[in-house]
């Protein structure tokens, strides 16, 4: 399936979920992710906005358990990840995003688990994002790439291009 079609289908399916379903499914996925986080790990995680799968539970777990967690900031045509200690380290950014307002950048190669947002995915762990390629620019250097999504965002098959990076796993509910 063409990536633009897959993206549109996934975003539409996500938008149609009720707030209650989105909350329940986010909790289920976050609990599965949290079960894999151990002391000493460095976690990379996006800060959810709008109708994305809500990552606040993962971030709060990391804060409460002294787990290093890094969140992305768009810098030119790529992402840089910065270690945050609380939600107070986040500031509003363009497109309704929250981004880190701290200085400790962590190279993606040092991140033990990268939690990746997506607009759609298929059974072969291919994903579409939002079409800008920010995550694809860094995922090739990541150790453990886990996409998180709602089951409703799954599509039959996504046509991949040479620059697309396949995830190691997708956790959905």
CATH of the domain at 80: 3.40.50.10420
Q: CB–CB of 117/48 below 8 Å?
A: yes
Domain that holds residue 49: 3-172
Q: CB–CB of 142/82 below 8 Å?
A: no
95: pLDDT strictly greater than 90: no
94: pLDDT strictly greater than 90: no
pLDDT single digits (tens) 107-142: 999 999 999 999 999 999 999 998 888 999 999 999
Q: CB–CB of 45/55 below 8 Å?
A: yes
Give residue 51's Cα distance to chain centre: 13
Altogether, the residues listed in the chain come to a count of 173
For β-strands 68-75 and 78-84, DSSP reports them as antiparallel
168: pLDDT strictly greater than 90: yes
- Domain total of the chain: 1
């Amino acid at each position: 399936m063409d990536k633009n079609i897959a993206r549109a289908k996934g975003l539409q399916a996500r938008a149609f979920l009720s707030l209650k379903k989105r909350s329940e499914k986010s909790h289920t996925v976050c609990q599965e992710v949290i079960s894999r986080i151990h002391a000493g790990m460095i976690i990379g995680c996006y800060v959810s906005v709008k109708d994305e799968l809500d990552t606040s539970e993962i971030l709060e777990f990391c804060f409460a358990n002294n787990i290093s967690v890094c969140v992305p900031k768009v810098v030119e045509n790529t992402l840089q990840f910065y270690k945050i200690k609380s939600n107070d380290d986040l500031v509003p950014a363009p497109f309704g995003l929250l981004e880190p307002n701290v200085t400790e950048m962590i190279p993606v190669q040092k991140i033990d688990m990268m939690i990746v947002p997506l607009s759609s995915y298929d059974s072969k762990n291919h994903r579409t994002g939002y079409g800008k390629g920010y995550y694809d620019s860094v995922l090739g250097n990541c150790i453990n790439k886990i996409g998180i999504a709602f089951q409703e965002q799954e599509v039959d098959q996504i046509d991949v291009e040479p620059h697309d990076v396949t995830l190691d796993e997708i956790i959905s509910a």
